[in-house]
Structure 1
Amino acid sequence: MHVDDLIGAHPVLYHLASRAAWPSIQRHGLLSTAALIDLFGVVADERAEMLEQVRQKSVPLAHPTHGHAIVRDQAPLKFIDRCLTEGATLPDFLSALNSRVYFWPTEDRLKRLLRARQYRDGEHVVLHVDTASLISVHGAAVELSPYNTGSVHVPNAPLRGPETFRTVSAYPYDEWRRKRGAGGDAVAEVTVLDAVPDLKEHLIQVEAWSSGMPAGMLPFES
């Protein structure tokens, strides 16, 4: 896939976060789970539990300087043991999941998550990000996936492993477009390895959501 095709097909990317985490995001940008845990100084035993096992519950983090953040649960990985590619191990796959920041390439995929049972009653922010701007700075760290890699809630979900994430240039976009047709998404996730510390440089708007409904725009410093 050529980067211009990604930008043309998905000029805006979307990231869903807890409303409580918004002040920390404004200070630090978007961090992968691993980077967030490091920033908040989580002790070794708790760090291993959060990163090396499937998280059954979301974990709130608090820090006297960095504020508050939420490490999301991984409950949708219910059947991951049955859905790993040959040679992939669960620790390898969890490491791949926990080491990146995720964006939805379409509003439809974003709203599916907002309507999901575990999110629809919560307080969230939706970050609208300029794809071209993000890629101009972080292009070397951008990887794509044809699936929602963190959702394996049925036993016959597509196989996945660390190699599911592909760089833009290596991503088989035309193949997935043929498979899914005009109404399907050839790209399901856009990810950035490690962190987007300069998030504010790429933000278009920040939308508050409450109890499954949009609740206005939030100001931010650009």
Structure 2
Amino acid sequence: MDIQKFIISRPYLYHLTSSQNADNISSTKSLFSANTLIDMTNDESLQGVKRARRAEHQTIVIGENTFFLRDQRPISEKALAKCLTNNWSVGDFLFHLNDRVFMWPTLDRLWKHFTRYEQERPIIFRFSTSDIIEANPHVKFCRLNSGATRPSSYLGGIAPLRGAESFVVADQFDRQVRDVAEVTFENECKIAGPIWSSARPDGDFHQMN
């Protein structure tokens, strides 16, 4: 995939998070993966969280700051076990997910995620795709919603396959721009350029900085 074509076709990236995370994101100008936040606590008792499905939201305290990790309830561990490649275990793939920051490349994909958490009144951040990718050359792309494990009748009753090869750099993404489902960053995504926020995908986005 041509990265410049992607930037032109998808001028914005969207990130949904708990409204309680807004101040930390604005002040640090970074989005951190769950695994990175856990490492930042220096709390060895939390290491097991990296390879476990979060059934509920989880609070992470780092110094005077509190971060809220979203639950992973939509993931069925039973279904996930049936669609993994590379001889990975469920724990292997959950670690892989928890090692990433996720963004949505379109409002349509954002909507599907937003409706799951709408009652919690999350906050949506919008970023310039060109600014974010320039500041984060380690960006990788995924062709599917990596946390969706609903079985497909077209695939013989299992969810689409996923594993180490699910997240790839642009040059290895052998599909079209329209096929990018997730834009991801290992460990950390540095926020460059303006930050806009909204309470809803169809709401007004206001610049925060």
TM-score range, shorter chain: 0.7 to 0.9
Counterpart of 1:206? Answer: 197
TM-score (norm 2): 0.87
Q: What code does the residue aligned with 1:220 have?
A: M
Pair 1:187 & 2:180 matched: yes
User: Over the residues paired in the alignment, what is the CA RMSD in angstroms?
Assistant: 2.1
* Distance in 2 (alpha carbons) for counterparts of 1:96 and 1:128: 24
Inter-CA distance 42–73: structure 2 relative to 1 (3 Å threshold): farther
**In proportion to residue count, which structure has more strand?**
1
Q: Describe how 1:97-112 pairs up with structure 2 within 5 A.
A: 97-112=97-112
Query: Would you say 1:147 and 2:109 are equivalent positions?
Result: no
Shift of 1:27: 2.2
Give the paired residue count: 201
Deviations 1:31-71 (A, max 9, x none): 011112223x16222231x11111211112334522x2111
Instruction: Report the identity percentage.
Output: 27
Q: Distance in 2 between matches of 1:56 and 1:186?
A: 29
The residue correspondences of 1:1-222 to structure 2 (distance < 5 A) are 1-28=1-28, 29-39=30-40, 41=41, 43-48=43-48, 50-66=49-65, 68-78=66-76, 79-116=79-116, 119-139=117-137, 141-154=138-151, 156-174=158-176, 185-197=178-190, 199=191, 201-209=192-200, 214=203, 217=205, 220-221=208-209
Structure 1 consecutive aligned stretches of length 4 or more whose deviation exceeds 4 Å: 216-219
The alignment's TM-score, normalised by the length of structure 1, stands at: 0.82
Question: Are the structure 2 counterparts of residues 64 and 137 from structure 1 closer, same or farther at C-alpha, using a change threshold of 3 Å?
Answer: closer
The 8 Å contact of residues 83 and 162 in structure 2, kept in 1 or not, is answered as yes
**Are 1:19 and 1:125, in contact at CA under 8 Å, matched by a contact in 2?**
yes
Deviation at 1:153, TM superposition (A): 3.5
Unmatched 5+ stretches in structure 2: 152-156
Give the residue type in structure 1 aligned to 2:185.
V
User: Corresponding residue for 1:180?
Assistant: none
The answer (yes or no) to whether the contact 1:13–1:131 under 8 Å persists in 2 is: yes
